[in-house]
Amino acid sequence: MASPIVTEFRAERRFLVETLQSQGISDLAVLRAIESTPRHFFVPTGIGRQAYEDRPIHIGLGQTMSQPSIHARYLQIAALTGKERVLEIGTGSGYQTVLLAHLAEQVFSIERVGPLLERARQAIRSCGVRNVSTLLGDGTIGWREFAPFDVILVSAGGPTIPQPLVDQLGEGGRMLIPVGDQEEQILALLTKRGGVVERRDIAPVRFVPLKGTHGW
């Protein structure tokens, strides 16, 4: 889904892409999505240029948008082909949601903080994507109405893997989720084959706590 062409900060987006390439991001689809997505739409007014630095940004309501390299690595591991139905747990600013809209056929995103979701919806609309559906609710119970999903991406760290999300993962589907305590987690890649879920641990990470019925 192509966003409107945004000329503002185009050079900064290009520089960000080059920075990510130097850090080992090689998935061309991910790099194209980052170059075409106006990250300054998702940050507080007045700090647009900072949006293209590789660092996290506070977006209010006690929430932080992860640095671009975290999003890029997450999406590179997800290895999307453009044909998937993706469930995103934690819409946040909406930035990763729009990146997913470029990389998948359809995106379903859940956020538990109402004012944050309303802001994200506005930013998503500004990007012109049309393949995103959002829901205010508890992400740990998923979105059963639209299951099964080919890919589930969880953008917060939980003490365990929520069983409803496992149940909503389709055959051959995969889930990325940070699992651990509230200080540090292990990024786990789950794959469902023949009804059996295989887990592969990727790397230590640090995400905000996953809150909800099956979280903290």
Residue/partner pairs of 203-207 with CB below 8 Å, 24 or more apart: 205/157, 205/178, 206/157, 207/155, 207/156, 207/157, 207/178
Is 109 annotated as catalytic? no
Q: Which residues contact 202 (CB under 8 A, 6 or more apart)?
A: 77, 176, 186, 187, 188, 189
Q: Under a CB-based contact definition with an 8 Å cutoff, are residues 194 and 173 in contact?
A: no
d(CA 188, CA 185): 9
| Residue 208 CA, distance from chain mean position | 13
Annotated catalytic residue within 22, 26, 36, 66: 66
Q: Which residues contact 62 (CB under 8 A, 6 or more apart)?
A: none
Q: Under a CB-based contact definition with an 8 Å cutoff, are residues 115 and 213 in contact?
A: no
| Strand boundaries in the chain, DSSP class E | 57-60, 63-65, 85-89, 106-111, 132-136, 149-154, 169-180, 185-193, 196-205
Catalytic annotation, residues = 66
